[in-house]
Structure 1
Amino acid sequence: MTEVWPGAPFPLGATWDGEGVNFSLFSENATRVELCLFAPDGTEERLEVAERTNLHWHCYVPGCGPGTRYGYRVHGPYTPEDGLRFNPAKLLIDPYAKAIEGGVDPDAANILPYVPDGTDTADLEPDDEDDADAIPKSLVIDPTFDWEDDRRPRRPWNETVIYEAHVKGFTRLHPDVREDLQGTYGGLASEASIAHLTELGVTAVELLPIHHSIDEEFLHEKGLSNYWGYSSIGYLAPHAGYAATGSDGEQIREFKGMVKALHRAGIEVILDVVYNHTAEGNHLGPMLSFKGVDNTSYYRLMPDDPRYYMDFTGTGNSLNPVNPTVLRLIMDSLRYWVIDCHVDGFRFDLASALARELYDVDRLSAFFDVIHQDPVLSQVKLIAEPWDVGPGGYQVGNFPVLWTEWNGMYRDTMRDFWRGNAGVSEFASRLTGSSDLYESDGRSPVASINFITAHDGFTLADLTAYDQKHNEDNQEGGRDGTDDNRSWNCGVEGPTDDAEVLALRAQQRRNLMTTLLVSQGVPMVLGGDETCRTQGGNNNAWCQDNEISWFDWDHDAAAREMYAFTRRLVALRREHRVFRRRHFLQGDTRDSAVLPDAWWFRPDGRRMTTRDWDQADGHTVGLFLNGEQFPYPDSRGRPITDDSFLLLFNAHFDDVEFVLPARRFGTTWAVELTTVDPAVEPGAWTVPTRGTVAVASRSITILKRVAPVRRG
């Protein structure tokens, strides 16, 4: 019989001190808690957790150590009509587990809280089948790790270029990554992976969820899986399936090793985190952890019928950050990843759901208040996906200071402009940092995370090749995924051998990538867009853990050309501050003796007028960016200067002749790049003031000033 001591209520979870393990579990409404220890052969020993301090059930097991497999059985009323779902027949994952050994095996035992008759009332009676064989065990870990001299890059926001990627998909097919490391944390840390990222020039990887997640039951029945991982069950545990070294706790060391390797290359690590819902679904979903530990504390339940869950996420449930203990779990999780695992920031999935105090989105919710006063979390990168599926959930531009936001308006406007469906006014606003969204509350252009594509939707190659989604492999009859793609007028949808169509698609890809990387704000590149990655038109590949989603490293000529062009754009942005200013542009000062920091002009070289901006069908515009006008010094107090540029945009289906602006802006200009011909070298040709530049249909030409302004 294993000896059990009282232990302590804090810290929560399983904590090894070198001589034994302290276990602590929060449950406000439980009447009894059993700690279940599992031997290597699966034998279970149940230990009574007799101590209860301030709603924390705790004990200390001497002689217990790293690698111990455990779970909980929590007793109490099973009255779903009251929101209570205690069922000791169901083994529960520790909400504070720092390692979880793997996935659920639904074939081993019934994990659902109802008999399989499919009726909506079936959950009113508890299912008494023991599911220990189906539930992955929590693991006691050894937290030590040799970080050596690891330091966070602490890259300023205006110098950041984000690369969104999936840990598994990025290297699963990479021929230069050792076979046993493909698709793992170790694979992402490999020399070949890091070489690709550093050569491309990105400064941060934003990883799709790495919290331990569980596949939905209906996916298992279809032979699919939740590839994206937005189905969290362990907020302090790295997903075991991405570890090459093992799943008995080794996943933590491998994850930390990945972070250390990326930091050595100067690359930050941003985690996509899902604190808005869990893998337990609605009232008919599985009981895995929170539901059985204390359902009424962890979830937002319907006030008039707590059997059902409030659902702001479209997944069946919403976590309850209004409860102080749940808020503490979120904060403890965030601090763990920063302090213990050295990550550099977070992107919060459906962040509006976290901001809901009672029902409405509250900009000053407790969640924001706690983060803002936290000395650790207030210093890392914070990115909001500023919407959820509830009423009033679209909150782009409404998050507080310290926060940046995925700018969905930027994405929509830039797509529409290059499709010929948006005018220059909205385009100009998004290109220059969306001051209409962020300036009034004291934020800067870097509050806008600009993106054209993301994991959720078409890849860049598919965006310009498909007019309709092709999600047949998802087995949902085409009902899933968005239907907002519109024709790119490329002549044919999908694969083709038509050289003219392929050339136009490639040009549109370059237009979109160029627009992204010369825009004020923070660019986010969807991983694989730099090499024309395709998902065959699937714009919702969340359940496709296969070649549909995995990166293809067998690059053809088009992929190599796109990679070289993207590298060139990233380098241009890195080398010139004028494309990544820390303050909003002020525009024309109306003082002819002073060059403005930005000046918009028509194809005839004249300043844009109010009438020009109001034209809904305007598809051509030029922009002068003044490298001499920076209203702030560098970190050492020295004045900042840069080259000046002309950006000529033509989204029209006809070629346009641009006349360059007056001599006060510059006397000679040289081509920097053009999206018509990615092979044109910088300086290949020049043009004088008031000279003309032919800008082909659906293209961009960027010119750099090579002769000084003549004054006086």
Structure 2
Amino acid sequence: MSFSFSELDFLKPELGAEYTGQGTHFAVFSAHAEQMELCLFSPDGKEEVARMALPKREGDIWSGYIAGVGPGTVYGYRAHGPYDPKAGHRFNPNKLLLDPYAKQVLGELEWDDALYGYTIGAKDDDLSFDNRDSAPYMVKGIVQDPDFDWDGDQAIRRTWTDTIIYEAHVRGMTMTHPDVPDELRGTFLGMCSEPIIDHLTKLGISAVELLPIQHFPNDRYLLEKGLTNYWGYQTLGFFAPQPRYLSGSKITEFKTMVKAFHAAGIEVIMDVVYNHTAEGSERGPTLSFRGLDNASYYILSPDDPRHTYDTTGTGNTLNVAHPMVMRMVLDSLRYWVGVMHVDGFRFDLASTLGRQDLDFDRQGIFFGAIRQDPILSGVKLIAEPWDVGEGGYQVGGFPHPFREWNDKFRDDVRRFWKGDGGMAPDIASRLTGSQLQFNHSDRAATSSVNLLSAHDGFTLMDTVSFNDKHNEANGEDNRDGHSDNHSDNMGAEGATDDAGIRDARSRRRRNMMATLLLSQGVPMIVAGDEVGNSQGGNNNAYCQDNEIGWVDWSGLDDPFLSFCQKIIALRKDHPELRQERFLTGAIGEDERTEIAWYRPDGEQMGEEDWSDPELRLLSVYMSYSASTPDVEKAAGLFLVFNAGGDCDIRLPEVNGITGWSRVLATGADEPFAELDVREPLAVDRESVAVFVPNGA
């Protein structure tokens, strides 16, 4: 079969391969290329059947239209231009390049030296030029038909105050679940299977946040060690679902998953990586962006453009400040919202996206572009507010409408419950939404995404089971991963049969989960924490696509799962715990107290109490913010967080409340059994208690 570009070629605004119904329009950006070739392949991607120069160039967009070419067509690009690494240019037409806008990717990258634009082992290293064809080893794009039956599917757009996030990995969530069909394990269809959705709905989850599902390859150095890129933070295709998560060959499986979650009332948030790509440093392979236009797609060293500038720890930094790179990122985000129907994004190393002239700028063009976009400004946006570059730690520094992962919450809650001294002011701040970080620039009290654990770091069970990380399986002599985890094994390193230690660990997990769900902000739970999942002390399981990284579902009968379900339900029953506006301690015009902190004797805390390094017990009354409408409807709650020993407390008279009932005591045999208060009230050591006004 012969192929040729139509003489009726027309310039379309879309980039990528767009099927029109009668043919396909191909368009790709490159500012510095001298010629761009489209390569078509056999359906299996093994044979190159046509190679044609794109006939049209306008505004650095190269394009062409081929009648009769439709969905299923396999393709890639070859870019001609200067090979001048010292000037930042690395064009090499011997290297097949993946379309940055490819909607589906065929195959897995087969690592070979031919994938590199330079000759590995050459005397002049990356300044050399490699003549081998990389196509036999390279993934390819597949032209798509965007049609899908979305009938009945609607965006949920749940408010942040009603959001409870569950961070999960498609494979990790499904590989060992006893009720997920074998053929669906590790796939999008397994992720939305009835057992998984049933578990999430019973738990009370409102949004699932998926670790990266955009196409990513396995890293060469991991494969050489017998490991894999499990987490997926090495994106190569920003528009394409990861093929290994498909049970068949159709990307509609991802749409089916989203539609199923929506039907269950669960939003879908994607963890996305727009700060770097899988191509690594200048000594990495030439797979897509580097070969299309290295000097445009990447930030290069201002002192020597031969080298990439790295704020991500991966070897390169995507040049989001470039208008066409910015366009690609925005087009990708809009594609996932508009075509794939996702509900939001968590941005990996988001500080990098806010860098202009190498410095972070909260008023930068990326944030401005998002905020003015009528589609993207209305979905959930979450920043991981740091990178590894200078000035990269920016917790609290992002503009509305972004929410932010709050590692200060994680660290302070861990430290408080393991008994560190002087934590009272810090834990009080975390309970009230981390106001020092977020109560500015008209930001909401939901700006903080609170977490006890995440995909990187100890699981909740490992936080109470290990003093030290145990990452030996990663093959880096246990040097990788954080060493300061604020963890406490409570008497034995790892699993133990000691009943006393097991009981103490169970209580501390209850205390920490209660603290998470009783705090202002947006709670995030990591998949498996609710069933006692352990990674054996591995706090960096990025390469462990096995039982270490997968959720262990053997704890489904553990009482802790029931506790998690009930504490989430308690949060939902009490809007005082999930407010849009910060509690400042002010008394409103109706003389109602918003929030007040109390000593065990029932008197309000003074400055000397806050400065006591031995203070291990905090008691707080929370009502509605005085600036919230209908405050007269707020009953209020009294919360006690006791990281110390047994003690007696007196509950205060506040806002006309004279009597209380206890609805939670994490130290009790039946934590949620209701109890009328008789004072003084005994509070168990290392426990959380919640009280509601009598009759509420």
Q: 3-state DSSP class of the match of 1:320?
A: coil
The one-letter code of the counterpart of 1:153 is I
The corresponding residue for 1:3 is 4
The corresponding residue for 1:171 is 174
Contact (CA 8 Å) 2:464, 2:489: kept in 1 or not?
A: no
Residue 614 (1) aligns with residue 615 (2): no
The corresponding residue for 2:77 is 72
Equivalent residues, number: 690
Contact (CA 8 Å) 2:72, 2:142: kept in 1 or not?
A: yes
Contact (CA 8 Å) 1:206, 1:271: kept in 2 or not?
A: yes
Q: Give the gaps of 5 or more residues in structure 1.
A: none
Q: What is the percentage of aligned positions where both structures have the same residue?
A: 48
Distance 1:678 1:452 in 2: 24
* Deviations, residues 24-63 of structure 1 (Å, cap 9, x unaligned): 0101111111111001362212112121111111111111
The corresponding residue for 1:123 is 126
Distance 1:106 1:681 in 2: 55
CA RMSD of aligned residues (A): 1.7
The corresponding residue for 2:58 is 53
The corresponding residue for 1:580 is 578
Q: Using the TM superposition, give the Cα deviation of residue 460 of structure 1 relative to its aligned residue in structure 2, in angstroms.
A: 0.3
* Distance 1:445-1:118 versus aligned 2 partners, 3 A rule: farther
Q: Using the TM superposition, give the Cα deviation of residue 556 of structure 1 relative to its aligned residue in structure 2, in angstroms.
A: 6.2
Q: Give the alignment of 1:546-625 within 5 angstroms.
A: 546-555=546-555, 557=557, 560-587=558-585, 589=587, 594-625=591-622
Q: Give the alignment of 1:92-171 within 5 angstroms.
A: 92-106=97-111, 110-117=114-121, 121-171=124-174
The corresponding residue for 1:437 is 437
The corresponding residue for 2:418 is 419
The one-letter code of the counterpart of 1:671 is R
The corresponding residue for 1:525 is 525
The corresponding residue for 1:474 is 474
Match of 1:193 among 183, 191, 196: 196
The one-letter code of the counterpart of 1:436 is L
Distance 1:620 1:48 in 2: 72
Distance 1:133 1:85 in 2: 20
Residue 676 (1) aligns with residue 662 (2): no
The one-letter code of the counterpart of 1:115 is T
Distance 2:382 2:397 in 1: 13
Contact (CA 8 Å) 1:9, 1:57: kept in 2 or not?
A: no
Q: Give the alignment of 1:316-395 within 5 angstroms.
A: 316-395=315-394
Q: Using the TM superposition, give the Cα deviation of residue 290 of structure 1 relative to its aligned residue in structure 2, in angstroms.
A: 0.2
Distance 1:64 1:33 in 2: 19
Q: Using the TM superposition, give the Cα deviation of residue 640 of structure 1 relative to its aligned residue in structure 2, in angstroms.
A: 6.5
Contact (CA 8 Å) 2:108, 2:139: kept in 1 or not?
A: yes
The corresponding residue for 1:632 is 628
Which moved further from structure 2: 79-88 or 46-55? 46-55
Distance 1:144 1:644 in 2: 50
* Deviations, residues 282-324 of structure 1 (Å, cap 9, x unaligned): 0111111000000000000001211101100000000001110
Q: Using the TM superposition, give the Cα deviation of residue 136 of structure 1 relative to its aligned residue in structure 2, in angstroms.
A: 0.9
Distance 2:411 2:668 in 1: 26
The corresponding residue for 1:686 is 676
The one-letter code of the counterpart of 1:345 is G
Contact (CA 8 Å) 2:467, 2:489: kept in 1 or not?
A: no
* Deviations, residues 617-658 of structure 1 (Å, cap 9, x unaligned): 32111111236x66434xxxx666244322111112x22222
Q: Using the TM superposition, give the Cα deviation of residue 486 of structure 1 relative to its aligned residue in structure 2, in angstroms.
A: 3.7
The one-letter code of the counterpart of 2:278 is A
Residue 81 (1) aligns with residue 86 (2): yes
Deviating runs (4+, > 4 A) in structure 1? Answer: none
TM-score using structure 1 length = 0.94
Residue 242 (1) aligns with residue 245 (2): yes
Distance 1:198 1:425 in 2: 35
The corresponding residue for 1:658 is 649
* Distance 1:34-1:590 versus aligned 2 partners, 3 A rule: closer
Q: 3-state DSSP class of the match of 1:302?
A: coil
Q: Using the TM superposition, give the Cα deviation of residue 178 of structure 1 relative to its aligned residue in structure 2, in angstroms.
A: 1.7
Q: 3-state DSSP class of the match of 2:139?
A: coil
Q: 3-state DSSP class of the match of 2:512?
A: helix
Q: Using the TM superposition, give the Cα deviation of residue 662 of structure 1 relative to its aligned residue in structure 2, in angstroms.
A: 3.4
Contact (CA 8 Å) 2:463, 2:489: kept in 1 or not?
A: no
Q: 3-state DSSP class of the match of 2:105?
A: coil
* Deviations, residues 485-515 of structure 1 (Å, cap 9, x unaligned): 2452611111111111111111111111000
Distance 1:38 1:184 in 2: 27
Residue 225 (1) aligns with residue 233 (2): no
Distance 1:192 1:473 in 2: 31
Contact (CA 8 Å) 1:271, 1:347: kept in 2 or not?
A: yes
* Distance 1:486-1:581 versus aligned 2 partners, 3 A rule: closer
Q: 3-state DSSP class of the match of 1:455?
A: coil
Distance 2:650 2:573 in 1: 27
Q: Give the gaps of 5 or more residues in structure 2.
A: none
TM-score using structure 2 length = 0.96
Distance 2:636 2:52 in 1: 71
Q: Using the TM superposition, give the Cα deviation of residue 440 of structure 1 relative to its aligned residue in structure 2, in angstroms.
A: 2.0
Contact (CA 8 Å) 1:588, 1:599: kept in 2 or not?
A: no
Distance 2:564 2:632 in 1: 26
Contact (CA 8 Å) 2:647, 2:685: kept in 1 or not?
A: yes
* Deviations, residues 346-399 of structure 1 (Å, cap 9, x unaligned): 111101001111111111111011111111111111111111000010111111
* Distance 1:662-1:40 versus aligned 2 partners, 3 A rule: closer
